[in-house]
């Protein structure tokens, strides 16, 4: 093991370990844009395209070394899928369900701000 550490040398540092704050089925809200969504997948670090990342204005571009969440999202006008960094999400405390047509295919009951994942989609 020590040989392996020496191969990489002292200049190599691993990104900090960041734990996911939210879990599958949690209802969250974007802290800047206010839309709500249900978490249906989590990437431990950024896993989208570089083109997508560069399209975010630099002054609000999130760090890649944090969890990113796939959301079944809604705003007052439409429903869609969103990809959002952990730093831009807060728990939604409205206790209101999210209105997205794909929710019933992945999730069952809604209670206490969380959707229960259907058994078919559990790992």
Q: What is the pLDDT of residue 4?
A: 45
Residue 3 belongs to a domain: no
Q: Is 31 helix (H, G, I), strand (E, B) or coil?
A: coil
* Confidence label for 39 from pLDDT (cuts 50, 70 and 90): very high
> What domain count does the chain have?
1
- Contact assessment for residue 39 and residue 71, using Cβ atoms and an 8 Å cutoff: yes
Distance of CA 44 to the CA centre of its chain: 9
Residue 63 belongs to a domain: yes
Residue 6 belongs to a domain: no
CATH at 54: 2.30.30.390
Distance CA 50, CA 55 (A): 9
Residue 5 belongs to a domain: no
Residue 36 belongs to a domain: yes
Residue 29 belongs to a domain: yes
Residue 12 belongs to a domain: no
Give pLDDT tens digits for 44-99: 999 999 999 999 999 999 999 999 999 999 998 999 999 999 999 999 999 999 99
Residue 13 belongs to a domain: no
Host domain of residue 107: 24-121
């Amino acid at each position: 093991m020590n040989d392996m550490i020496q191969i990489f040398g002292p200049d190599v540092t691993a990104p900090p370990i960041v734990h996911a704050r939210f879990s599958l089925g949690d209802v969250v809200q974007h802290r800047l844009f206010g839309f709500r969504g249900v978490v249906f997948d989590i990437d431990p670090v950024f896993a989208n395209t570089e083109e997508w990342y560069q399209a975010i204005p630099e002054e609000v571009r999130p760090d890649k070394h944090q969890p990113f969440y796939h959301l079944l999202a809604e705003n007052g006008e439409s429903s869609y899928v969103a990809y959002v960094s952990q730093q831009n999400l807060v728990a939604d405390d409205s206790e209101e369900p999210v209105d997205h047509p794909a929710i019933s295919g992945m999730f069952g009951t809604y209670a206490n701000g969380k959707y229960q994942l259907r058994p078919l989609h559990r790992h």
